[in-house]
């Protein structure tokens, strides 16, 4: 037992993290391998959404066209959600297709989509230009439409309970590939393909919330992530005109990147995927903990709050007999309260097992007790409502299998 566990729990069951149905890649020291650098592959074509507004205009001038055409292209793409030249009748017919192909190249091909019975959750499987596969999940909730976005093809963080990391990191996604997931989802919504809309509603809808909780570790693809976020929050027609406060960036704990994010002055919501308050367990559960320990990650999270005033979310997947012990709730509350009050909110998440896994979510009784202890210590806590389990579209289930 770890040194910070009370003697009374010596008889409690403690399941150790292990992979199920796949072999975790490990180094010569026996530790799980971490991939921070993206493998070298052919770069995707440069897209309007990869460029700043001045660079878009400069690109048009390079092509011998008026700079204002960049704004026209942006309006079609970011507000009408189209890259179809036939729909861009305000552009000259001569050379229109070549212009659109050059500035709005196709980045993703839809391979397949899966929908829940009600149709209010859709998982998309996309093939990128080099054959890499990624997924995104579109979800309707009361009062909002959320898109779970991928930032990498695969993931290099090698967490044993997550389907995404089983194949390792294929590559980083470009800023435009990240943004294109939102634009394509908005197109689906505009065409009335997302179920659950109230009968008689006439308001035009679009994605209102983004969660970077799809495939990949967002902060391991930092520059492209932030380029995509800037485009998401840029006013129309130069961007998607989204609220930064409705964009959640999640990480397993890349401490230097968390501190860098705090300096961006873009008030996104920050979420730390903690899953264990003690290093003894988290070293096995979240391999990046071998680089930056629990206290370092929590210090960085608190610094994010100090810099932005934005309350931090702590994500905690509740796994039966592994990390759902009452003493761990007490330890988590102790560590959070030691860093002050009012800066954090905990989201326990019932585990979404990967196919064939023997790992299971905590019992309702254990979940209730875990939450009770946190709330008794004054920690705001809300059990996360997960969506899409029946289509393998919930947290930790995205594996981009083309089968």
Helices in 157-287 by DSSP H: which ranges?
A: 175-190, 222-233, 255-262, 279-285
Structure tokens at 218: 């967002």
Torsion-angle region of residue 138: left (phi > 0), alpha (psi -120 to 50) or beta?
A: beta
Instruction: Single out the catalytic residue among 148, 155, 162, 395.
Output: 395
How far is residue 329's CA from residue 316's CA, in Å, rounded to a whole number? 10
Residue with tokens 């693809």: 221
**395 is an active site residue:** yes
Q: Provide the 10 A C-beta neighbour count for residue 305.
A: 18
297 CA to centre of own chain = 18
Strands 108-115 and 169-172, sheet pairing: unpaired
Q: Provide the 10 A C-beta neighbour count for residue 365.
A: 9
Reference 257, options 305, 218, 213, 216; nearest CA is 218
Strand-pairing partners, residue 273, are 315
How far is residue 156's CA from residue 164's CA, in Å, rounded to a whole number? 9
How far is residue 98's CA from residue 241's CA, in Å, rounded to a whole number? 28
Residue with tokens 């399941």: 15
Element (H, E) at 26: none
**135 is an active site residue:** yes
Instruction: Single out the catalytic residue among 20, 106, 135, 191.
Output: 135
Contact 321, 365 (CB under 8 A): no
Residue with tokens 């026209």: 72
293 CA to centre of own chain = 22
Residue 374, preceding peptide bond in cis (omega within 30° of 0): no
108 CA to centre of own chain = 18
Over the Cα atoms of the chain, what is R_g? 22
Q: Provide the 10 A C-beta neighbour count for residue 110.
A: 11
Just list the catalytic residues.
135, 395
């Amino acid at each position: 037992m770890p040194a910070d566990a009370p003697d009374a729990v010596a008889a409690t069951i403690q399941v150790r993290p292990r992979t199920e149905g796949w072999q975790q890649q490990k180094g010569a020291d026996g530790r799980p391998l971490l991939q921070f650098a993206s493998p070298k592959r052919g770069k995707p074509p440069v897209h309007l959404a990869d460029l700043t507004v001045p660079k878009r205009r400069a690109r048009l001038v390079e092509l011998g066209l008026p700079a204002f055409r960049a704004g026209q292209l942006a309006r079609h793409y970011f507000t009408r959600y189209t890259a179809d030249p036939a729909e861009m009748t305000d552009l000259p017919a001569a050379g229109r297709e070549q212009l659109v192909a050059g500035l709005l190249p196709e980045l993703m091909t839809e391979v397949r989509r899966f929908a829940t019975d009600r149709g209010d959750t859709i998982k998309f499987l996309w093939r990128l230009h080099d054959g890499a596969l990624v997924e995104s999940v579109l979800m309707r909730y009361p009062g909002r439409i959320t898109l779970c976005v991928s930032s990498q093809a695969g993931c290099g963080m090698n967490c044993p309970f997550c389907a995404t990391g089983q194949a390792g990191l294929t590559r980083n996604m470009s800023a435009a590939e990240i943004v294109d997931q939102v634009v394509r989802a908005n197109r689906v919504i505009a065409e009335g393909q997302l179920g659950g809309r109230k009968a008689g509603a006439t308001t035009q809808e679009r994605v209102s919330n983004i969660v970077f909780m799809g495939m990949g570790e967002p902060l391991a693809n930092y520059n492209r992530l932030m380029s995509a976020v800037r485009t998401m929050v840029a006013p129309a027609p130069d961007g998607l005109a989204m609220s930064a406060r409705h964009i959640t960036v999640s990480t397993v704990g890349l401490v230097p990147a968390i501190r860098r994010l705090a300096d961006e002055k873009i008030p996104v919501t920050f979420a730390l995927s903690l899953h264990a308050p003690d290093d003894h367990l988290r070293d096995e559960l979240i391999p990046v903990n071998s680089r930056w320990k629990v206290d370092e990650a929590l210090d960085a999270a608190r610094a994010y709050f100090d810099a932005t005033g934005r309350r931090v979310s702590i994500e905690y997947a509740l796994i039966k007999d592994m990390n759902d012990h009452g003493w761990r709730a007490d330890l988590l509350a102790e560590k959070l309260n030691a860093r002050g009050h009012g800066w954090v909110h905990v989201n326990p998440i019932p585990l979404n097992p990967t196919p064939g896994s023997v790992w299971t979510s905590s019992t309702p009784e254990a979940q209730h007790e875990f939450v009770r202890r946190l709330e008794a210590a004054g920690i705001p806590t809300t059990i996360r409502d997960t969506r899409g389990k029946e289509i393998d579209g919930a947290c930790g289930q995205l594996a981009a299998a083309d089968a």
